[in-house]
Structure 1
């Protein structure tokens, strides 16, 4: 008979720590959240935490990296199935990103973690690497969907603008959630597609 595995794998341990950290950060604030509290919330010892991450900052960077990688995979999967810009935005709106990772469910926490990590100068190059990956992805989406719609745009420039728009709405929601709906960015993108006529059938 095969032995039943009881101990979680390394990936399972990291995901449990990510989930626990998101809960503790939300409840106590990032600065006040301790490693002991995060480990306990995940059902692990302090030693288990340190066997995976050297510090709380390292955990935060790993959470951001995990979120970016999952986001890249998610968007490229949508892009493979929806190359028309209007269809892509509709699919993005309908997709359940909340099931991917704790930062996918909590975009405001995502923004808070980015700002927290950015305060440490030595961490900024790592954040910049993830920002470039996001820009490249959005440029790829713009290039593919605009080509399918018969429009000629600069993908890199348009991608940077869209990414700045998304981050701007996240910041606005962090400051004033009452007047900034959770889907503000997608609403804005839908408005833009209508404004430049992407919602109209292509002329033969």
Structure 2
């Protein structure tokens, strides 16, 4: 692949990722993604076989970046300490309200069961890898999985409520329940 074609592909993926994080993988039309990338729809199929292929690759990239951020935490921290630190950011007003580099899961989960199987497989892989990253032992894995579910659900509910006191309470309650 030429360098120019590779850069164009990355622009399309970046635009798709931004829309996906806001609205989920099923919503954006190819025309909207291409316009956000500053390109015409005509060039889309030179880079991707379908909208689903584009959105799946963007979904995988977004999830990979989330895991990379978690990997930046101090490796000497125990699983519980990593979960508490993760929850401190993940369940914050800043993360709830941010645009762009936000977690795509709250906007995506309801749609995944209606999308091609690759989305479900990418989600399962992400959950397994995240659970392993925030637990130290196999015995701790179920607690880590529960905390991860609590964080994603808490953030989804807080985002659905929008900025305000009840949303802030949801974030605080979920954060305090992480163990």
What TM-score, normalized to structure 1?
Answer: 0.61
129, 133, 142: which one aligns with 1:140 = 133
Unaligned stretches of 5+ residues in structure 2: none
Give the count of matched residue pairs: 169
CA distance in 2, matches of 1:129, 1:66: 10
Greater relative CO (CA pairs within 8 A, separation 6+): 2
| C-alpha distance after superposition, 1:121-175 (max 9, x if no partner) | xx2354234323323332332217xxxxxxxx72221122112112211331243
Aligned: 1:60 with 2:55: yes
Structure 2 SS opposite 1:80: coil
Over the aligned positions, Cα root-mean-square deviation in angstroms equals 3.8
Shift of the 63–54 alpha-carbon distance from structure 1 to 2, 3 Å rule, reads same
Answer whether contact 2:12 2:33 (CA < 8 A) is retained: yes
CA distance in 2, matches of 1:139, 1:23: 27
In the other structure, the counterpart of 1:165 is 150
Correspondence list, 1:16-27, <5 A? 16-21=11-16
Answer whether contact 1:143 1:155 (CA < 8 A) is retained: yes
